[in-house]
């Protein structure tokens, strides 16, 4: 059986809206609904991208304090000023139906360049229930690493080995692979110590 066997055709679809790009934000506000583990995983995904590219460009301050319960469909509003927002929602959220209709697919996560990232909690849990990942942390981190790539301006790549593949494949390591890094550095400035993180992970 191939290690890159497609698992249940589970999409990790992201809507990339370059028109929404408002430049690099000064900080990213995190939904208060994130657990400490999830906050740590988001910060780790940000650090992994920074390490891979050897660039401080994506070193954006993460700050807790956004309450999405006060405006559950607020992520549909693109005016953010100098702040980006990372949301945590359930597919029962009224705004999820709009996101699903716009993308034409069920979503695990969604991201818009330098504007927002959305984690659909119950869809991430399904990755564990269906055996794609053995634990929620692994599924969440894969989603975070992928969506942060879109947040930085990347679109999907065709390779099944890429963290930016639009589908989740069994046996593919969660890391910044050489193809994804080359893509990022072709449109952004990377440092001389840039390197894929796949081979360097313990």
At 9-65, the pLDDT tens digits run: 344 443 333 333 357 788 888 988 899 999 999 999 999 999 999 987 777 888 877
**Residue labelled with tokens 């981190």:** 141
Q: pTM, whole model, 2 decimals?
A: 0.81
pLDDT tens profile 95-152: 777 777 766 666 787 777 778 888 999 999 999 999 889 999 999 999 999 999 999 9
Contact indicator for 84, 115 with CB cutoff of 8 Å: yes
What letter would DSSP give residue 60?
-
Architecture of domain 6-187: 3-Layer(aba) Sandwich (3.40)
Task: State the pLDDT at residue 146.
Answer: 94
**Residue labelled with tokens 């992520």:** 75
Task: State the pLDDT at residue 52.
Answer: 96
């Amino acid at each position: 059986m191939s290690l890159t066997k497609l698992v249940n055709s589970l999409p990790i679809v992201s809507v990339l809206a370059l028109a929404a790009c408002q430049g690099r934000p000064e900080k990213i506000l995190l939904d208060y609904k994130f657990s400490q583990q999830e906050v740590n995983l988001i910060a780790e995904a940000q650090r992994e991208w920074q390490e891979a590219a050897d660039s401080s460009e994506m070193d954006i301050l993460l700050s807790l304090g956004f309450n999405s319960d006060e405006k559950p469909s607020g992520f549909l509003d693109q005016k953010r000023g100098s702040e980006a927002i990372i949301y945590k929602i359930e597919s029962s959220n009224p705004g999820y139906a709009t996101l699903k209709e716009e993308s034409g697919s069920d979503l695990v996560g969604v991201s818009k360049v330098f504007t927002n990232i959305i984690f659909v909690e119950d869809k991430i849990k399904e990755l564990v229930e269906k055996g794609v990942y053995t634990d929620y942390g692994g599924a969440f981190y894969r989603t975070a690493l992928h969506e942060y790539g879109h947040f930085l301006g990347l679109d999907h790549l065709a390779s099944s080995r890429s963290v930016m593949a639009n589908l989740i494949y069994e046996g593919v390591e969660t890391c910044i692979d050489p193809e994804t890094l080359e893509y990022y550095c072709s449109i952004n400035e990377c440092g001389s110590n840039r390197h894929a993180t796949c081979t360097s992970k313990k």
